[in-house]
Amino acid sequence: MGAPKQKWTSEEEEALRRGVLKHGAGKWRTIQKDPEFSPVLSSRSNIDLKDKWRNLSFSASGLGSRDKLRVPRPKAPSSSPSPSPQLLLLSAPNNVAEASPPEDCEKSPQDDKTPSPKFSMILEALDELKEPNGSEVATICNFIEIDKSYKLTDSYAKRALAPMKDPSLKKKDSAKSSKAAKGLGQLSPALDAAEAAAMKVADAEAKSHLANEHMMEVERIGKMAEETESLLELASELYERCSRGEALTILQVAHREF
C-alpha cells in the first residue's frame, strides 16, 4: 500500500462515539456529514467510521479481534429480517450510559455482562427524560415507542400506558393500533402464528422487565427504610440528651450524623 495507515486520534474517536450516540450506529454517512462532527471526521469516510466502530466494539467487549468471532455469512436471504439500525444502537464502550456491541447482544442475550439493546433503549430514555427522581415505566415505554418508533405488545402497552394522561399520546397510540390492526388483518395464517409467537416472546420480555423494575424499587425502598431508621435513632438520642439537659449545637448534630 502506498499511503501509510492513518491512525485514529482521540478526537476522532470521541466524535465517532458522540455521532453514534446522536444518530445511532449504522448511520455512518449521517454522522460523517453532521456539521458537528464533519470537521473532525473530514478525513474519514463512512466506511472508516464503520470499521473503527467495529474495532472499538470488539475491543471493548473484551473479545479481542473480530476475526475470532467470524461466522459465515448466509448466502441466501435470511427469513428473519435484519435488526434495524436503532436496535443496534451502540454507545461508546467506555461511557456509562452506553451500550455494548450489537454482536454480543444478538449472539448472547443472556450474557449479563453486556446490556441488551432494550436495556440500552431504557438507559437512553432515562437519559433523555432527565427526570430527577427517575421516570415512570409508562413514560419510558412512551419514549421508546414514540421516539424510537417501536411498538409495544398490546397487553403490555395497555398496562404501561393506561396511566398516561396526555391525550395527544393516546391519540397517536390509538392511530398506531388501528394501523397495526389493519396490517394484521392482511397477514397469512403462517405470519399470524409467527406474529403470535413474537407477541408472546415480547410479552414475556416485558414481564421480565417489569419484575426487574419491581426489584429495583424494593431495593430503593429498603435503602430509604434504612436511612429513616438511622434518622429515628439520631432523633431519639437527641431527645434523650436534651431531656437530660445537655446543650447541643447544630454542628455537634451534624458531626454525629456525618
Binder among 16, 88, 105, 152 for DNA (CB under 7 A): 88
Q: Which residues contact 23 (CB under 8 A, 6 or more apart)?
A: 30, 31, 34
Residue 8 phi/psi, 5-degree rounding, is -75, 130
- Which range of residues in 54-62, 108-116, 136-144, 234-242 is near DNA by CB under 7 A? 54-62
Which position among 47, 184, 187, 253 is part of the footprint of DNA (CB under 7 A)?
Answer: 47
Minimum Å distance from CB 40 to DNA? 14
| DSSP output for 227-241 | HHHHHHHHHHHHHHH
Question: According to CB under 7 A, which one of 48, 154, 203, 205 is a site residue for DNA?
Answer: 48
The end-to-end CA distance of the chain, in Å, is: 64
Of 66 and 176, which has the nearer Cβ to DNA? 66
**For DNA, which residue of 55, 138, 154, 177 counts as binding (CB under 7 A)?**
55
Number of C-beta neighbours around residue 170 at 10 A = 13
By CB under 7 A, tell whether 70 contacts DNA: yes
Binding of DNA at residue 37 (CB under 7 A)? no
Contact by Cβ (8 Å): 100, 114? yes
Specify whether the CB–CB gap between 65 and 57 falls below 8 A.
Answer: no
Give the residue from 28, 84, 81, 86 showing the smallest Cα distance to 54. Answer: 28
Give least dist CB 81 to DNA, A: 11
From 10, 42, 71, 130, residue interacting with DNA (rule: CB under 7 A):
71
Sign of the torsion formed by the C-alpha atoms of 129, 100, 194 and 200: negative
Q: How far is the CB of 221 from DNA (least distance, A)?
A: 41
Among 38, 59, 155, 177, binds DNA (CB under 7 A): 59
* Under rule CB under 7 A, residue 81 binds DNA: no
Q: Cell 437527641 appears where? A: 238
Q: Work out whether 7 is an interface residue with DNA (CB under 7 A).
A: yes
**Is residue 30 close enough to count as binding DNA by CB under 7 A?**
yes
Nearer to DNA, 75 or 113 (CB): 75
Identified binder of DNA from the candidate list 67, 133, 244, 257, rule CB under 7 A: 67
Nearest CA among 126, 135, 63 for reference residue 93? 63
Q: Is 10 in the site for DNA (CB under 7 A)?
A: no
28 lies in the site for DNA, by CB under 7 A? yes
Binding site for DNA (CB under 7 A): 1, 3-8, 25-30, 44, 46-48, 50-52, 55, 58-59, 64-68, 70-73, 75, 77, 82, 85, 88
